[in-house]
Amino acid sequence: MQYKFNRVCVMGLGYIGLPTAALLASRGIETVGVDINEERVATVNAGGVSFHEPGLDAVVKTAVGSGKLQARTTPIEADVFLIAVPTPVRDDHAPDMAAVHAAAKAIAPVLKAGDLVVLESTSPVGTTEIVAGLIAAARTDLSVAGAAGRKGETEIDVHIAYCPERILPGRALTELVENDRIIGGLSRECRLRARAFYRQFVQGDCRITTARVAEMCKLTENAFRDVNIAFANELSILADRLDVDVWELIELSNLHPRVNVLQPGPGVGGHCIAVDPWLLVHSAPDITPLIQTARQVNDSKPDFVIEKVRAVAERFKAPKIACLGLAFKPDIDDLRESPALDIATELASAGFGEFIINEPHIKALPADLAAHAGVRFERDAEAAIDAADIVLLLVDHRLYKDIEMTLLEQKIVIDTRGLWARRRA
């Protein structure tokens, strides 16, 4: 069957929603981006972007200029509704699904027979069914897939699917097109419609399955990575105690054809890998000890780094410490959920020395960090190193690889990413 998708409403104009909306519009599809944040809506309508993602500003500018992309604070009638709103976890690690529920309720009044609703937000298993239930409760005049009782496929008015985003921040526009997609529908017709929609702009494989498999698939991918990084982080602590170079250890272990140990670091950051495993745990805390332990191992790694710095700093009367990098991973400007930022803030608040902080991707230090006595922002990484007794490398930004090694010769170096250790080897 030939499906037609003339207008798409993207709920949420964040790191996933905005690149997706801009891409759809650039393919000539009339796209309406919806966000509750009025400032963000105004920025997009002015052709701008409020966060850094390579290439995105140009695509948004062209899409808005062509009239194919507009932003609003409320949804309007469309043929497809994509929900790409945040699903954070609360302090007790329980998922906060308020934004997804609010988006489902917001689109309900404008839905019509034949529409497709796709949830893209990372969600606990079973959420797509909950979304269907919320829409069905709000629109008793429509039969909604997954909530329509005994109705046959042909009698369904609103089709519902789950299709997780899997893009890597920093590569959003490329990965949106090239990555394979997992498309889980609440019925066969939902799957087919959703696949036809994604095939308009995805070059990767579009694999169809049930909504529950698709939901769990997304969580599995990030939990897999978290557990494997936890292994690397635990090895790094063990190797430190046993006086073994962990970078050399991993490099040599990975020569085995069936071994691929990931890289240790100062902790796991970002809003996905450090968060998503909790969505699995929350569904069944009694049978997920490995996933929980991995989270604890990764969450405790910053403390290990802090203790290392303290131990070294004690050798100086008034230590000068250069902190290189604050982002949660290399070559991006995103400081949210960053272990590097946590470590720098904790050390600076202890107030036992001078902190010269370099982060090439930001223009000024976050206010919380800048407020501590003895903290200063240094735009030039080599100048920061030059002024310090101790050099703490927290992020493996590309430009730190090119630092002149002789600059480090008289310094105590704590390289949490193995950037220079690997280079020396």
Give the distance, in angstroms, between the CA of residue 397 and the centroid of all CA atoms in the same chain.
18
Give, as ranges, the residues between 176 and 205 that touch ligand SAJ (CB under 6 A): none
Residue 85 makes contact with ligand SAJ by CB under 6 A: no
Nearest to 19 by CA among 46, 52, 66: 52
Q: What letter represents residue 378's amino acid?
A: E
Three-state secondary structure readout of 296-348: HHHHHHHHHHHHHHHHHHCCCCCCEEEEECCCCCCCCCCCCCCHHHHHHHHHH
Q: What is the 3-state secondary structure (H, E, C) of 205-216?
A: CEEEEEHHHHHH
Q: Does the protein bind ligand SAJ through residue 279 (CB under 6 A)? A: no
Strands 390-393 and 320-324: parallel
| 293 token code pair | 């332990």
Nearest CA to 80 out of 30, 123, 127 is that of 30
167 forms part of the interface with ligand SAJ (CB under 6 A) = yes
b/e 53-62 (16+ beta carbons within 10 angstroms → b): beebeebbbe
C-beta separation of 191 from 160 below 8 A: no
Residue 272 interacts with ligand SAJ (CB under 6 A): yes or no: yes
Q: Which is nearer to ligand SAJ, 42 or 252 (CB)?
A: 252
Nearest to 388 by CA among 349, 347, 423: 347
Tell me which stretch binds ligand SAJ (CB under 6 A): 153-161, 222-230, 303-311, 355-363.
222-230
CB of 14 to ligand SAJ, least distance (A): 11
Strand partners, 208: 183
Residue from 81, 247, 278, 328 in contact with ligand SAJ (CB under 6 A) = 328
Residue among 139, 159, 166, 195 that touches ligand SAJ (CB under 6 A): 166
**Which segment (149-157, 259-267, 314-322, 377-385) binds ligand SAJ by CB under 6 A?**
259-267
Residues with catalytic annotation? 218, 272
336 vs 379, beta carbon nearer ligand SAJ: 336
* Of positions 196, 237, 262, 350, contacts ligand SAJ by CB under 6 A: 262
Size of the site for ligand SAJ (CB under 6 A): 20
Residue 168 vs 399, nearer CB to ligand SAJ: 168
CB of 112 to ligand SAJ, least distance (A): 31
User: Cα Rg for the chain, rounded, in angstroms?
Assistant: 24
* 280 CB neighbour count, 10 Å cutoff: 20
Question: In this chain, which of 20, 43, 222, 236 binds ligand SAJ, going by CB under 6 A?
Answer: 222
Which amino acid is present at 231?
F
- For ligand SAJ, the closer of residues 262 and 362 by Cβ is 262
Does 325 bind ligand SAJ (CB under 6 A)? Our answer is: no
Give DSSP secondary structure letters for 18-31: HHHHHHHHHTT-EE
- Rounded to a whole number of angstroms, the minimum distance from the CB of residue 207 to ligand SAJ is 16
Is 263 a residue that touches ligand SAJ (CB under 6 A)?
Answer: yes
The stretch near ligand SAJ (CB under 6 A) out of 35-43, 80-88, 152-160, 219-227 is: 219-227
Helix (H, G, I), strand (E, B) or coil at 116: strand
Q: Does 168 bind ligand SAJ (CB under 6 A)?
A: yes
- 221 touches ligand SAJ (CB under 6 A): yes
Give least dist CB 46 to ligand SAJ, A: 27
Q: How far is the CB of 163 from ligand SAJ (least distance, A)?
A: 12
What's the distance, CA 408 to chain centroid? 33
Binding residues for ligand SAJ (CB under 6 A): 122, 165-169, 221-222, 225, 229, 262-263, 265, 268-270, 272-273, 328-329
